[in-house]
């Protein structure tokens, strides 16, 4: 099963390494890990996406809560959340297919951020499934490079 976990942590060196090591030592591969400052510059929010057995992941979640630098841990399983991912994708295009690529970018509500005679770089943001679908639509044009931020998520409501 796929789990999305959010951890509010102290914004200081070594915290990311410590938490990544906690998952690694339990044999969990982190599918996605995103870290950024919060509204409080002394804190960061980590969004961790991991696949694994519910019982073992519950142990890891509890151990996360015991780490001194961790302020709060939220497991989003079964919760109503808003999740987004951002991608930059450099795709091959020429004068013949450039308009087709631009049309797909518009359908997916993306943005062309760079263009050259043989390439176009697109920025896209949205739910992970939307980014996945756009990537598949771009494959026939030739994806030259791609970077994805990883998932960020927050629970809805108060």
CA distance linking residue 21 with residue 24, whole number of Å: 5
pLDDT band for position 40 (50/70/90)? very high
Tens digits of residue pLDDT in 51-68: 877 887 788 788 888 888
Q: Which contiguous run of DSSP H or E holds residue 104?
A: helix 98-107
Mean pLDDT (the chain, rounded): 91
Closest CA to 5 of 70, 95, 74: 74
Backbone torsions φ then ψ of 94, nearest 5 degrees: -135, -175
Distance CA 102, CA 111 (A): 9
The one-character DSSP state at 118 is S
pLDDT in tens, 104-128: 999 999 999 999 999 999 999 999 9
Structural domains for the chain:
2-75 (3.30.70.260), 82-155 (3.30.70.1150)
The total of other beta-carbon atoms located within 10 Å of residue 15's CB is 19
pTM, two decimals, is 0.82
């Amino acid at each position: 099963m796929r789990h999305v976990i959010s951890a509010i942590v102290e914004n200081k060196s070594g915290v990311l390494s410590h938490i990544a090591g906690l998952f690694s030592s339990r044999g969990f591969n982190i599918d996605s890990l995103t870290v950024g400052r919060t509204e409080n510059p002394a804190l960061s929010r980590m969004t961790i996406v991991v696949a694994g057995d519910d019982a073992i992941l519950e142990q890891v979640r509890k151990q996360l809560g015991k780490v001194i630098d961790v302020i709060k841990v939220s497991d989003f399983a079964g919760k109503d959340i808003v999740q987004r991912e951002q991608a930059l994708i450099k795709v091959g295009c020429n004068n013949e297919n450039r308009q087709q690529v631009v049309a797909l970018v518009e359908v997916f509500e993306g943005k062309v951020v760079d263009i050259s005679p043989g390439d176009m770089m697109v920025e896209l943001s949205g739910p992970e499934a939307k980014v996945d679908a756009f990537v598949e639509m771009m494959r026939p044009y030739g994806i030259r490079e791609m970077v994805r931020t990883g998932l960020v998520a927050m629970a809805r409501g108060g």
